[in-house]
Structure 1
Amino acid sequence: MSQQPVLLPYTDPAFLADPFPLFRQLREEGPVRRAVIAGGLEAWLVTRYEDGLAALSDPRLSSDVRDASDPRLMQQLPVTERESMLSNMLRTDPPDHTRLRRLVSKAFTARRVGELRPRVQEITDRLLDDVVAAGRAELVADFALPLPVTVISELLGVPVEDRHDFQRWTDDMLLRRAEMPDPAVVNAAWEQMRSYLTKLLEAKRARPGDDLLSALITARDEEQRLNEDELIAMSFLLLVAGYITTVNLIGGGIAALLAHPDQLALLRDDPELLPGAIEEFLRYDGPVSPGIARFAREEVEIAGVTVPPGATVLIASAIADRDPARFADPDRLDITRRDNAHLAFGHGIHYCLGAPLARLEGQVAIGTALRRLPGLALAVPPGELRWRPGGLRGPQQLPVTFTPDGDASGG
C-alpha cells in the first residue's frame, strides 16, 4: 500500500470529542488503511463492516501479542509479569482460549445474568438516592463508574471498598494516549495489582465463598484446569473487563441521549425501547474505539490488501459500525433501529463474554436515570465535555443538572 500511515490525533480534543469525520474519511479512502494509533503504534485499520466481520473470525489473525512484530507492543506490558498478563483468555487462542473461557462462561449466560437484575436495580437506586436531592451530579464518578464496579466486585467476591485502588492501577496500565506509556508506571501498577490479587486469592483459599473467584480457585487447586499464572490473569481480566467498558456504555449512552433530545424524549415516553436503545448506543458510539486488535500470523489478504506477517490489524468496529453499506443512515442515532448487528462486542470465539451483563447494567442504569432524574440536562456546554484519550471511548466526566428530589423512593 503506497499511502503513508495516517496519524489518529489523540492530542486533539476535537478529535477525541468527535472522531467520526476522520473515521468516515478513512473508510471512504479504502477498506484497509495504515494508521498510527494510541501509543504511537502502527496498525492496519479494517474500516468496513463485512471485512471486519470476516477478520474477527479469521484464524490467521491471532489474539496473542507475541505474534506481533512490533516490539513496542510487548514493551507496553509489565516487564516482570508478561507471562501472567499473556495468560488471560483475551490474549490467547485455541486450545488454551477454549479451556479458559469454558471455566467462566456459565457465570455469564443470559439466565445467570438475568438473576442479577434485582441486585443491579438495588445498587442503581442506592447510587441515585445519594444525588437526587441535590439537583446536580457528575454521572461518571457518582453513577456510571461505581455501578459496574460494585456489580463485578460482588460477582467475583472482591471487597468493593478496594475499588479505588484497583481502578487507579487499571488506569495506569490500560489508559492509552498519543505517547507510549511509561514502563516504570505500568510495572509499578501491575506489581501492586498482582500483590493485591495474590493476597485476595490466598484469603479465599482459606475461606471460600459463593463467588466466581472461589470457584476458579477450586478449578486451580482441586481440578488442575488452570495454573497459577492463569488464575491471576483470569482474576485480573474478569475484574477489569467487568467494569471498564460498561462505565463508558452508561456514560456514553446518556451523553448521546442528551445530545439528541428527540431520542431522549422518545425513550422517556416508551421505556420498552431500552433494549434496542442499548444496541444503538453500542453501534453509534461504542465504548471500544477505534476497535479490536489482532496480529497476523502470516501474510493475509484483506479486501484485496496484503497485510504482512506480524502486522497489528485493528478491526475498527467504531468505523465499521457506521458503514453505509451495512447500516442505513449510519451517522444518525436511532434508538428504534431494528437491524443492528454491530461489532461493538466483537464476533466469533472472542465475542465478549460479559455482553449479557453489560446489556443488563446499561438497561437498568440508563432506564432508571431517565425515570428518576426529570429534566436531565448537561451542566456544561457540550464542547466542554472531556473524552477518554484512546482505546476506550466515553466521557471522562458527565456533569448534569435535573429537577431535585425526582423519585427519591426509587420506585
Structure 2
Amino acid sequence: MNFEDPVLTANPELTFKELRNIAPIQKITLGDGFPVWLISKFDDAVTVLRDPRFIKSPNNLRISNDEPLKGKTERASSAYILRRFHMLANDPPEHTRLRNFAQKAFTPKITAGMRVRIQKITDELIDKIQNNKRFDFIDDFAYQLPIMVIAELLGLPTEDREKLRNWSDILIEVQVTEKNKKSIEESADAFINYLKNVFAFRRKKPGNDLITAFLKLQESDGHITEDELYATIFLLIIAGHETTVNLISNGMYALLSHPEQLDLLKNNPELIHSAVEEMLRYNGPVINSTMRLAAEDILINGITIKKGEGVLVIFLSANQDETKFDNSLNFDITRKNNKHLAFGFGIHFCIGAPLGRLECEIAITTILNRLPNLKLDPTMDSPEWRASNIIRGLKRFPVVF
C-alpha cells in the first residue's frame, strides 16, 4: 500500500474499509525490503499499542540479534539524532525518563495558562484576514496559530516560524530514500545548528520559556543529554504545530463540507468539545502510528508477527471501524461513543493532547463567531491532500466569506 498515492489520499475511507473487512492485519514490504504489518481495526490497534513486546528502539532488538535492521539512517547523522533520541522512539526505561522530562512542557497549569494567549493570537490572525474576503485557511490561519504558540512556549522568535515549518515539513517524512536523503540531512544539520545557537544564547541570557527551563534542568540533574534535548525540542515542535495545523484545518473542512453539522455547531456552541473529538476521529491529523518492532514472535488475532518485523497502526482506519463506531463514516458532532485513537494509546499517548484540543476549540469557535459566513471557495478544484506516510492534511484550503 502506497500512502502517497493520490487516489488513496483523496479518498482513504473506502480503501481502509476494504482493508478492515478483507485483511485487517496485512503484511507489506517497504521500498527497502523491510517487512511491515498494517493494523487497521480498532481492537487490534489497541492490542498492539498496549503490548510492551512491540518496541520502538531497534537497539533493544539487537541485544539478541546481531543482524542490523534494514533501512535505518546512520547513527552519527543529525537526522538519526532527531529521529531516534526522543521519547517517541524509545522504550522504558529511556522512554520514561525522556517523557517525564518532556512532560514538564505540558502540565495542566501551563496549558490552562495559555488560553488567554491563544485567544489573543487567534484574534490577531483574524484581524489580518477579515477584510480580504478570500484567503487560504491553512497558510493564513491554521498554520500560523500553532507555530506561534509553540514558538512562544519554547522561547523561539516568531519570525523564525517559516524556517521551522520548512524543516519540519522535510524531517517529518517517515522513510529515508535516495531521493529525499540529502534534503533530510541538510535540514537536520540546519535545525541542530539553529538550536545550538539558541541554547548558547539562553545559557547567557535566560528567559521565561521552556528551553531555558529545560537547560536549567539539564544542568541541575543531568538526566538528559544535549542530543536528547535537540530531539525532544524537535518532537515538541513537530507535535506542537504539525498535527494541530491539520486538526484545525481538517476539522474546519469537515464542517464546511457538512453544512448541517456546521449550522448545528453555530446554533449550539456548547457542542464544541464533542465537535473537536469528532474532528479527531473522523479525519484526524495523523494517518499512521510511528513504527513498532516485534521483540519476539507475537500472535495477534490469529496472525503471527515474527520477531524483528515492523508494525504500523493505521489510526485513520481504526477510528472509522464500523464495529466500534455507529455510522462510522458519518461526521456527527453529537457522537457519544467517541473513544478514538487520534492521540494514540498506551505509554506513547500524546502528551500535548490537551493543548491541541484547546487550540482547536478556540480556533474553530472564534472563526465561527467572527467569520460566520465562511465557506469553501467555489472556484476550488477537488481538495488535494498532502502525500505523506504520517500526516493527514490538505495542501491548500481556499475559503471565502
Pairwise TM-score range, normalised by the shorter structure: over 0.9
Say whether residues 1:10 and 2:8 are aligned partners: no
1:132 to 107, 122, 130: 130
Which residue of the partner structure matches residue 299 of structure 2?
Answer: 301
Which residue of the partner structure matches residue 376 of structure 2?
Answer: 378
Aligned residues: 395
* Mapped contact 1:78–1:187 kept (Cα < 8 A): no
* Mapped contact 1:386–1:397 kept (Cα < 8 A): yes
1:88 to 86, 89, 97: 86
Amino acid of the structure 2 residue aligned with 1:335? I
Deviations 1:361-410 (Å, cap 9, x if unpaired)?
000011111111122111146653211112100111110000xxxxxxxx
| Deviation of 1:317 (Å) | 1.4
Alpha carbons of structure 1 residues 136 and 84: separation in structure 2 relative to 1, 3 Å: closer
Alpha carbons of structure 1 residues 177 and 292: separation in structure 2 relative to 1, 3 Å: closer
Which residue of the partner structure matches residue 57 of structure 2?
Answer: 64
Structure 1 length-normalised TM:
0.90
Which residue of the partner structure matches residue 141 of structure 2?
Answer: 143
Amino acid of the structure 2 residue aligned with 1:393? R
Note the 1:238-249 alignment, pairs <5 A. 238-249=236-247
Which residue of the partner structure matches residue 401 of structure 1?
Answer: 400
* Mapped contact 2:172–2:238 kept (Cα < 8 A): no
Say whether residues 1:156 and 2:148 are aligned partners: no
Alpha carbons of structure 1 residues 399 and 42: separation in structure 2 relative to 1, 3 Å: farther
Which residue of the partner structure matches residue 225 of structure 1?
Answer: 223
Deviation above 3 Å: which 4+ runs of structure 1?
Answer: 35-42, 65-73, 75-81, 175-181, 380-383
Separation in 2 of the partners of 1:224 and 1:177? 32
Separation in 2 of the partners of 1:252 and 1:347? 21
Deviations 1:295-325 (Å, cap 9, x if unpaired)?
1111111111001111110111111111111
What secondary structure does 1:56 align onto? helix
1:48 to 41, 56, 68: 41
What secondary structure does 2:312 align onto? strand
Deviations 1:218-254 (Å, cap 9, x if unpaired)?
1111221211111111121112221010000001001
Note the 1:1-400 alignment, pairs <5 A. 7-8=1-2, 10-12=4-6, 14-35=7-28, 42-66=35-59, 67=61, 71=69, 73-75=71-73, 79-83=77-81, 85-175=83-173, 181-380=179-378, 383-390=381-388, 391-400=390-399
Separation in 2 of the partners of 1:248 and 1:153? 17
Separation in 1 of the partners of 2:12 and 2:219? 47
* Mapped contact 1:65–1:91 kept (Cα < 8 A): no
Alpha carbons of structure 1 residues 77 and 23: separation in structure 2 relative to 1, 3 Å: farther
* Mapped contact 1:149–1:242 kept (Cα < 8 A): yes
More deviation in 22-31 or 65-74? 65-74
* Mapped contact 2:3–2:387 kept (Cα < 8 A): no
Separation in 1 of the partners of 2:121 and 2:38? 39
Separation in 2 of the partners of 1:285 and 1:231? 32
* Mapped contact 2:73–2:176 kept (Cα < 8 A): no
Deviations 1:53-79 (Å, cap 9, x if unpaired)?
121111111122444988554139883
**Runs of 5+ unmatched residues, structure 1:** 1-6, 403-411
Q: What value does the CA root-mean-square deviation take over the aligned residues?
A: 2.2
Separation in 1 of the partners of 2:116 and 2:70? 45
| Deviation of 1:178 (Å) | 11
Deviations 1:160-185 (Å, cap 9, x if unpaired)?
11111121111122246997652111
Separation in 2 of the partners of 1:287 and 1:9? 14
Amino acid of the structure 1 residue aligned with 2:342? A
* Mapped contact 1:292–1:317 kept (Cα < 8 A): no
| Deviation of 1:99 (Å) | 1.1
Separation in 2 of the partners of 1:70 and 1:302? 25
What secondary structure does 2:308 align onto? coil
Amino acid of the structure 1 residue aligned with 2:57? D
Alpha carbons of structure 1 residues 298 and 19: separation in structure 2 relative to 1, 3 Å: same
Identity, in percent, stands at 38
Alpha carbons of structure 1 residues 301 and 81: separation in structure 2 relative to 1, 3 Å: same
Amino acid of the structure 2 residue aligned with 1:137? F
Amino acid of the structure 2 residue aligned with 1:47? S
Separation in 1 of the partners of 2:202 and 2:364? 34
Alpha carbons of structure 1 residues 10 and 265: separation in structure 2 relative to 1, 3 Å: same
Separation in 1 of the partners of 2:196 and 2:318? 40
* Mapped contact 1:10–1:177 kept (Cα < 8 A): no
Deviations 1:85-106 (Å, cap 9, x if unpaired)?
3110110111111111112324
More deviation in 165-174 or 266-275? 165-174
* Mapped contact 2:78–2:192 kept (Cα < 8 A): no
Deviations 1:240-295 (Å, cap 9, x if unpaired)?
22101000000100111111111111111111111111110111111111344211
Deviations 1:149-204 (Å, cap 9, x if unpaired)?
00000011111111111211111222469976521111111000000011111111
Separation in 2 of the partners of 1:279 and 1:84? 30
Alpha carbons of structure 1 residues 77 and 243: separation in structure 2 relative to 1, 3 Å: farther
* Mapped contact 1:77–1:186 kept (Cα < 8 A): no
Amino acid of the structure 1 residue aligned with 2:338? N
Structure 2 length-normalised TM:
0.93
More deviation in 222-231 or 136-145? 222-231
